[in-house]
Amino acid sequence: MTYHPAHISWLETEIPGAPGTAFHLAPKTVRDVESILRYCSERSLVVQVWGGGSHSGFGDPTPPDFVMAMERMGEIERWEPDDLTIVLGAGARIEAVEAMLAERNQSLALPERPGPATVGGVVAAGISGLRRGRLYSTRERVLEVSMVTGDGRLVRSGGRVVKNVTGYDLHRVAVGAFGSLGVIVSVCLKLWPTPPGAVTVMVDDLERAAAVVRPLAVLETSGQIQVYLQGTEAEVESQADRLGGRAMAGFDWPADPRDAWRWSLRVPPAMTGPAVTRLPGSWSYIAVHGVGEVRAASPSVDGAEDVRSWAQSLGGHLVMVAGDPSVFDPWGTPPPGLDLQRRLIAEFDPMRILNPGRLPGGV
Amino acid sequence: MSLVDELRAVLGDEDVLEQPVELHLFSKDASLMRGQPSCVAFPDNAAEVAEIVRIAERHGVPIVARGAGTGLAAGASPTEGGIVVVSTAMTDIAIDVDNRTAWVGAGVINLDLSREASPYGLHFAPDPSSQSACTIGGNVANNSGGPHCLAEGSTTSHVLGMEVVLAGGEVAFLGSQAPDPPGLDLKGAIVGSEGTLGFVTRVLVRLLPIEPDVRTLLMSFDTVEDAARTVSDVIAAGLVPAALEMMDRRMCEVVENWLQAGLPIDAEAILLAEVVGESDGVASQAGVIADIARLNHTTDVEIAATPEDRALLWKARKSAFGAIAQLATDYYLHDAVVPRTRLVETMKAVYAIADRHGLTMANVFHAGDGNLHPLIAFDASDEEANRIVHQAGEEIVAACLAVGGALSGEHGIGVEKRDLMGANFTELDLDAQARLKEVFDPAGVFNPRKVLPSGSRCFDFGGIRRELPDGVWV
């Protein structure tokens, strides 16, 4: 199928929050995406891929000529409850999918308070849920990715089975690649069953939290530590007793802190506690203990440089999630293997039209 | 200087083998495919591997990485000749208890890592059946699984970083102890790449806490269908046991005859399930699984009461492939994976294929993952038998793909399944994978002609512009 410019009228859309200077498109099919990307590659037109807009602040993006919204490609393609797998169009809203899965006591175990975030967006940005210490990160939950490369090739990697070593794991590389290899059009994810027991316990200090061997999550917000317990009812009850703090039934996941600047501080897991003490007093945060992730927000960029140099001295990073990339370097010291990364991207997006500037090191 | 002389100048005389009998020993892995190496090298560290890579590039010979040689897909067989580079001298283990990680030399044996970690209450989750022999480097190369990756995932989920020697002898550190290192996940591409992208010398692995309590259930069934349905029902009930394994009657007979582990020999199929966690949790989970088995007409449920009983059951499971020697001199062990819900029909198809060819087949597999391991016992010196076994193998793979499965769940592609890749992927998919390989290894030094069939890199979209008139949306 080839497109004439007349076809663009039914692809046109208006995306709130997306750069207004660009032309907004909303493809409905994989063929649409292929056609648009070939067209743009031939003319070196920059495309910004748009899910829910939740992670559009990463990096230092080049202003796009086109914004490609994935909102019309959000189908639930195939849910196999007994297999614990689901295939979703990239534009599927996490919140809506989770509501559907909850009826069968299953979960994507992606971010708990996703707002408008889409599956494709979260996968492309490599964003994980607060439960990742127990249920693993998003990258570990992605079984298959189908994407359209910058020059319009549909490429699939992985498979719709829970265990698979067939071929190279390009789908893992696509997670957190910010669309630099291709526009993700669909994803197969491993689901997690939700057992009946769910209790949140407030504890005074981290040592107390260690009484449970593998909790679902241990979070710290403004000096308060909450232990999230999940399992059979008998199991969580006895765990809650052992922890001994104030217990509440169910989970009330905290929302990511919001302010003019937003951050993801990443350090070795045992340094999560010390990381909190390094944050300037004006910063709000959620610390994910046992993982090494602190999600933070600040009214200004003051103090960020100190936090970054401390994190980097531990082999970690302070990543800017939202802010002004002309004021503060969004990623910090570039990662190793930049030449390999550049050459790999060149094989998938030879004209560099897909989300340029989002990745570290100017890749 | 000759290849061997150059290598000896770097590694020393003893660490380079070239005698015919030595070369023969390293001419194959645990698959049935043999190659002819030029020599075998035993480097001690990344710097030495880097020198080997440069020497190989100068001489235009391949490098074939090898750990313990337990691979089943000929990934470590030097089928294109070259230098077999063995990781077994790289055996350092440095455990970081606070962060629950360890830097591990590629030559460390899988089980040794968990043994070293156990005094700290930690273990390495991937546990292939060969874990008492296979190396971490081999696990990384193959993205190895094992019974316990049902709940915790395969090796790739437990590799946080690596020291890797790339083309040109460049040594890179990829990944980190901190989560989500920025940039493309190159490490994730290298895990499971079967030594075709670089040579991994050290690995930063995740260690998991040893759970406080465990129950192992042994359940017997009169039909394979009942056992398979139990597997599906357990998963559907919202339980993810630590392991969920199946053995059929033929397999139980040969294992029991050898080990006397107490396996039933009159059941058509048995399930081995393990649940881990806090005491209250494992007791209730074990109860739920037993109830589901009863609904599916189990004839007997036993719960291993002591660590010794548990160990014996697992020994029976993991010794299955050795026990098969009672049936024939050789075996061909298959590995394919299907959606869990398609287990019953796939097993029926697999038995029908074996019957049709008059083959002796036994089954022991990771039922919870839908990962099948039909094992065919035969005499490899009989050419006709070889042909039939391979024919049956291709039919089994086709049956798995037909229900939405994949070529390999944990053994890898290597040479064994290389030419079947086109049945699993489109030409564009294979082309994309070939591009990845080329980016890492432009000269084709690392384990050439493995994983991808020849001709994979066949698409050049640069030409598309010329075929289309101006102004057309393409």
Contacts of B408 in chain A (CB under 8 A): 164-166
Q: Output the six-digit token pair for A317.
A: 């990073």
In a domain, B356, yes or no: yes
| B303: Cα separation from own chain's centroid | 29
User: Considering only alpha carbons, which residue of chain A is nearest residue B149?
Assistant: A163
Task: Among B269, B297, B321, give the residue marking a domain's end.
Answer: B321
Interface touch A177/B185, C-beta < 8 Å: yes
Q: Are residues A185 and A81 in the same domain?
A: yes
pLDDT tens, position by position, B358-402: 999 999 889 999 999 999 999 989 999 999 999 999 999 999 999
Q: Are residues A129 and A181 in the same domain?
A: yes
User: Considering only alpha carbons, which residue of chain A is nearest residue B465?
Assistant: A42
Q: Single out the residue of A49, A125, A117, A12 nearest to residue A354, CA to CA.
A: A49
CATH code: domain of residue B291: 3.30.70.2190
Q: What does the alpha-carbon distance between residue B10 and residue A295 come to, in Å, rounded to a whole number? A: 48
| Structural domains of chain B, count | 4
Q: What does the alpha-carbon distance between residue B405 and residue B397 come to, in Å, rounded to a whole number? A: 9
Q: What does the alpha-carbon distance between residue B226 and residue B224 come to, in Å, rounded to a whole number? A: 5
Q: Are residues A242 and A269 in the same domain?
A: no
Task: Among A193, A210, A237, give the residue marking a domain's end.
Answer: A193
CATH code: domain of residue B344: 3.30.70.2740
Q: What does the alpha-carbon distance between residue A196 and residue B109 come to, in Å, rounded to a whole number? A: 39
In a domain, B372, yes or no: yes
In a domain, B234, yes or no: yes
Q: Are residues A171 and A214 in the same domain?
A: no
Q: Residues B168-182: what's their mean pLDDT? A: 98
Interface touch A162/B369, C-beta < 8 Å: yes
Q: What does the alpha-carbon distance between residue A151 and residue A148 come to, in Å, rounded to a whole number? A: 8
In a domain, A8, yes or no: no
Task: Among A151, A166, A193, give the residue marking a domain's end.
Answer: A193
Q: Are residues B280 and B294 in the same domain?
A: yes
Give the one of A132, A232, A291 whose C-beta lies nearest to B284's C-beta. A232
Q: Are residues A245 and A157 in the same domain?
A: no
In a domain, A237, yes or no: yes
Whether B465 shows a pLDDT value over 60: the answer reads no
Q: What does the alpha-carbon distance between residue A156 and residue A144 come to, in Å, rounded to a whole number? A: 7
**A-B contacts (CB, under 8 Å):** 294
In a domain, A358, yes or no: no
Q: How far is A256 from chain B (nearest CA, A)?
A: 17
Interface touch A231/B154, C-beta < 8 Å: no
Give the one of A152, A238, A269 whose C-beta lies nearest to B278's C-beta. A238
Q: What does the alpha-carbon distance between residue B412 and residue B409 come to, in Å, rounded to a whole number? A: 7
Q: Residues B41-62: what's their mean pLDDT? A: 98
Task: Among B321, B347, B365, give the residue marking a domain's end.
Answer: B321
Domain range for B229 is 213-321
Whether B315 shows a pLDDT value over 60: the answer reads yes
In a domain, B251, yes or no: yes
Q: Are residues B273 and B348 in the same domain?
A: no
Contacts of B182 in chain A (CB under 8 A): 317, 319, 331-332, 335, 359-360
Query: What is the SS3 assignment for A274-335?
Result: HHHHHCCCCCEEEEECCCCEEEEEECCCCCHHHHHHHHHHCCCEEEEEECCCCCCCCCCCCC
Q: Are residues B246 and B233 in the same domain?
A: yes
Q: Are residues B359 and B306 in the same domain?
A: no
Q: What does the alpha-carbon distance between residue B144 and residue B127 come to, in Å, rounded to a whole number? A: 8
Q: How far is B259 from chain A (nearest CA, A)?
A: 30
Give the one of A42, A177, A334 whose C-beta lies nearest to B465's C-beta. A42
Kind plus residue range of the DSSP H or E element containing B189: helix B186-190
User: Considering only alpha carbons, which residue of chain B is nearest residue A163?
Assistant: B409
Ranked by mean pLDDT, the top range of A5-19, A194-208, B304-318 is A194-208
Q: Are residues A232 and A144 in the same domain?
A: no
pLDDT tens, position by position, B228-256: 889 988 987 878 899 999 999 999 999 99
CATH code: domain of residue A306: 3.30.70
Interface touch A361/B183, C-beta < 8 Å: yes
Q: Are residues A90 and A125 in the same domain?
A: yes
Residue B468's pLDDT is: 38
Whether A4 shows a pLDDT value over 70: the answer reads no
Q: What predicted TM-score, i.e. pTM, was given to this entire model?
A: 0.95
Whether B195 shows a pLDDT value over 80: the answer reads yes
Q: Single out the residue of B414, B403, B400, B402 nearest to residue B371, CA to CA.
A: B400
Interface touch B439/A176, C-beta < 8 Å: no
Give the type of residue at A176.
G
Residue A5's pLDDT is: 58
Q: Are residues B360 and B280 in the same domain?
A: no
> Where residue B305 falls among pLDDT bands split at 50, 70, 90?
confident
Whether B51 shows a pLDDT value over 60: the answer reads yes
User: Considering only alpha carbons, which residue of chain B is nearest residue A132?
Assistant: B179
Q: Which of A98-102, A136-140, B311-315 has the lowest mean pLDDT?
A: B311-315
In a domain, B444, yes or no: no
Phi and psi at residue B180, to the nearest 5°: 50, 60
Interface touch A83/B339, C-beta < 8 Å: yes
Q: Which of A311-315, B198-202, B381-385, B429-433 has the lowest mean pLDDT?
A: B381-385
Whether B467 shows a pLDDT value over 50: the answer reads no
Give the type of residue at A29.
T
Domain range for A303 is 261-322
Contacts of B101 in chain A (CB under 8 A): 268
Give the one of B188, B240, B283 whose C-beta lies nearest to A172's C-beta. B188
Contacts of B337 in chain A (CB under 8 A): 159, 161-164
Whether A8 shows a pLDDT value over 80: the answer reads no
The SS3 assignment for B66 reads strand
Neighbours of B63 (CB within 10 A): 26
Q: How far is B317 from chain A (nearest CA, A)?
A: 19
Residues 6+ apart with CB under 8 A from B460: none
CATH code: domain of residue B113: 3.30.465.10
Percent of chain A with pLDDT over 70: 98
Q: Single out the residue of A67, A88, A72 nearest to residue A189, CA to CA.
A: A88
Interface touch B410/A163, C-beta < 8 Å: yes
CB A186 within 8 A of CB A86: no
Q: What does the alpha-carbon distance between residue B154 and residue B164 come to, in Å, rounded to a whole number? A: 20
Q: Are residues A234 and A275 in the same domain?
A: no
In a domain, B277, yes or no: yes
Mutant choice from A84, A148, A164, A214 vs B, greatest count of B C-beta within 10 A: A164
Residue A19's pLDDT is: 87
Residue A1's pLDDT is: 46
Q: Single out the residue of B153, B458, B166, B270 nearest to residue A84, CA to CA.
A: B153
Whether A6 shows a pLDDT value over 80: the answer reads no
Q: Single out the residue of B393, B419, B420 nearest to residue B407, CA to CA.
A: B420
Q: What does the alpha-carbon distance between residue B285 and residue B289 come to, in Å, rounded to a whole number? A: 6
Q: What does the alpha-carbon distance between residue B276 and residue B213 come to, in Å, rounded to a whole number? A: 6
Interface touch B409/A337, C-beta < 8 Å: no
> Where residue B459 falls among pLDDT bands split at 50, 70, 90?
low
Interface touch B181/A317, C-beta < 8 Å: yes
In a domain, B415, yes or no: no
Whether B470 shows a pLDDT value over 80: the answer reads no
Helix axis angle, B224-236 to B343-356, nearest 10° = 160
User: Considering only alpha carbons, which residue of chain B is nearest residue A330?
Assistant: B182
Kind plus residue range of the DSSP H or E element containing A5: none
Interface touch B425/A161, C-beta < 8 Å: no
CATH code: domain of residue A136: 3.30.465.10
Q: Residues B47-57: what's their mean pLDDT? A: 98
CB B107 within 8 A of CB B137: yes
CB A299 within 8 A of CB A259: yes
Q: How far is A282 from chain B (nearest CA, A)?
A: 24
Say what the alpha-carbon torsion angle B463, B469, B470, B474 is, to the nearest 10 degrees: -70
Residue A61's pLDDT is: 93
Q: Are residues B316 and B234 in the same domain?
A: yes
Interface touch B156/A149, C-beta < 8 Å: no
Mutant choice from A162, A170, A216, A347 vs B, greatest count of B C-beta within 10 A: A162
Q: Residues B31-41: what's their mean pLDDT? A: 95
Interface touch B436/A344, C-beta < 8 Å: yes
In a domain, B426, yes or no: no
Question: Which 8-state DSSP code applies to residue A52?
Answer: S
Percent of chain B with pLDDT over 70: 97
Residues 6+ apart with CB under 8 A from B309: B216, B262
Task: Among B321, B341, B364, give the residue marking a domain's end.
Answer: B321
Q: Are residues B205 and B223 in the same domain?
A: no
CB B464 within 8 A of CB B474: yes
Interface touch B240/A128, C-beta < 8 Å: no
Residue B363's pLDDT is: 92
In a domain, A218, yes or no: yes
User: Considering only alpha carbons, which residue of chain B is nearest residue A106?
Assistant: B238
Q: Residues A347-361: what's their mean pLDDT? A: 96
Give the one of A166, A172, A234 whose C-beta lies nearest to B284's C-beta. A234
Q: Residues B452-466: what's their mean pLDDT? A: 64
Mutant choice from A11, A35, A163 vs B, greatest count of B C-beta within 10 A: A163
Q: What does the alpha-carbon distance between residue B313 and residue B305 come to, in Å, rounded to a whole number? A: 11
Q: What does the alpha-carbon distance between residue B403 and residue B345 come to, in Å, rounded to a whole number? A: 9
Residue B341's pLDDT is: 87
Residues 6+ apart with CB under 8 A from A77: A87, A88, A89, A186
Q: What ipTM was estimated for this complex?
A: 0.96
Question: Which 8-state DSSP code applies to residue B211?
Answer: P
Contacts of B193 in chain A (CB under 8 A): 168
| Structural domains of chain A, count | 3
Q: Single out the residue of B330, B332, B398, B410 nearest to residue B370, CA to CA.
A: B410
Ranked by mean pLDDT, the top range of A166-180, B334-348, B371-385 is A166-180
Q: Are residues B183 and B135 in the same domain?
A: yes
